[in-house]
Structure 1
Amino acid sequence: MQSQTNDTHSAVPDAASLRSPQIADGVRLWQLAKDSQVLDVNSSYSYLLWCRDFSDTTIVAESAGDVVGFVSGFMRPQSPTTLFVWQVAVDRAQRGRGLGVAMLNRLLDTTAAHTLETTISPDNTASIAMFTALARRRDTSISKQTLFSADNFPDSHQPEDLYTVGPMDQLTKEHADNDNL
């Protein structure tokens, strides 16, 4: 069973609430990224700054007083209606319940985004499935192209493919809302 929050039609799994991050959440975001074992872990300092400077385009999921997931993102300066999703992490015990898609839906519902972009390495099948599910629920398209090849990185790193989900117009937002009822 799913519950709804009062300020959006995006359903979230029971016992979880979605909110903007606070600076104090930065430590937990860093820990979730580290525990994911698939995300590039940034410095703890960067997560603190992220919670301060990008709180309008970042969301955390909280359950029983603990942050159990987050999506960090920003509106692209060169494309102000494009939400770039930097990282998505969900606590291992909370995975498989739709929390990642619920957080993404909330960000799309509360920003002026018409398009969502993210990069995913080819072996991260869970993220590919999550963004594909998001596109399906919003009845919109998803496309993929290579953004950074392995040769672009100075260290050992897999290529990063750019996934684009959209367009997000009012009809796709309403469709996603109806799917969550």
Structure 2
Amino acid sequence: MQKTTKIDFYPPVSTDGYALHRLVAACPPLDPNSAYCNLLQCSHFNETAICAKEQGNLVGFISGYLIPDRPDTLFVWQVAVAESARGQGLAGRMLIALLERPACRNVRFLETTITPSNGASQAVFTKLAAVLEVPVNVSAGFDRNTHFEGAHESEELWRIGPITQKQSEEK
């Protein structure tokens, strides 16, 4: 059965921080952060993050930031979608809405890191590139042994773009 409730997108505020903390914990294989980190994501980085709420409940969240020495690049840190909201293309819709934000008006590239085993994230970003009609370049990111002392799977760097504002607004 198709869901009929409306999902609204908002810039996060600090009071969304603890709900984000719970959402990430419920979305393995996402790496959990401290509740304090989530509060900072919702307050200090709220112009490059997005909340998806259904009847006031947080069901999706994307955290990101503009890379300081490359302000034309939005780095997407985490994408979380509650189990109850999966299968509706929510992650892709949030990414497009985020690219339409005033803070992202000069973004030409989107970067993220994804583990080779995370097929769901790979599918989301592959579809985003297809919708925007731009290429995806996958390269080495953070190595399991070099960066994680063998305790975490390697992260590949995905670079999508170049994106024009017109492309993101048309989707």
Do the two structures share a fold, i.e. TM-score over 0.5? yes
Aligned to 2:108: 114
Q: Could you tell me whether the CA contact under 8 Å between 2:100 and 2:165 is conserved in 1?
A: no
Residue deviations 1:91-147, cap 9 Å, x none?
001001011001100111111211000000111000000000000011111110011
Aligned to 1:154: 149
Q: Could you tell me whether the CA contact under 8 Å between 2:100 and 2:169 is conserved in 1?
A: no
Q: Could you tell me whether the CA contact under 8 Å between 1:72 and 1:87 is conserved in 2?
A: yes
User: How do 1:1-80 and structure 2 match up within 5 A?
Assistant: 15-80=6-71
Normalized against structure 2, the TM-score is what? 0.92
Deviation at 1:32, TM superposition (A): 1.0
SS class of match (1:36):
coil
- Give the aligned CA root-mean-square deviation in angstroms: 1.3
Aligned partners of 1:87, 1:127: CA distance in 2, in Å?
A: 10
Amino acid aligned to 1:164 = R
Normalized against structure 1, the TM-score is what? 0.87
Residue deviations 1:13-72, cap 9 Å, x none?
950000000111011111111111111101011000111100000000010110110000
Aligned partners of 1:175, 1:67: CA distance in 2, in Å?
A: 26
Aligned partners of 1:155, 1:44: CA distance in 2, in Å?
A: 26
Aligned partners of 1:22, 1:174: CA distance in 2, in Å?
A: 24
Q: Structure 2 regions of 5+ residues with no counterpart?
A: none
Aligned partners of 2:165, 2:31: CA distance in 1, in Å?
A: 33
Q: Structure 1 regions of 5+ residues with no counterpart?
A: 1-12, 177-181
Aligned partners of 1:170, 1:58: CA distance in 2, in Å?
A: 18
Aligned to 1:133: 127
Moved over 4 A (4+): none
Amino acid aligned to 1:173 = S
Aligned partners of 2:16, 2:42: CA distance in 1, in Å?
A: 7
Give percent identity, aligned residues only: 40
Q: Please say if 1:89 is aligned against 2:83.
A: no
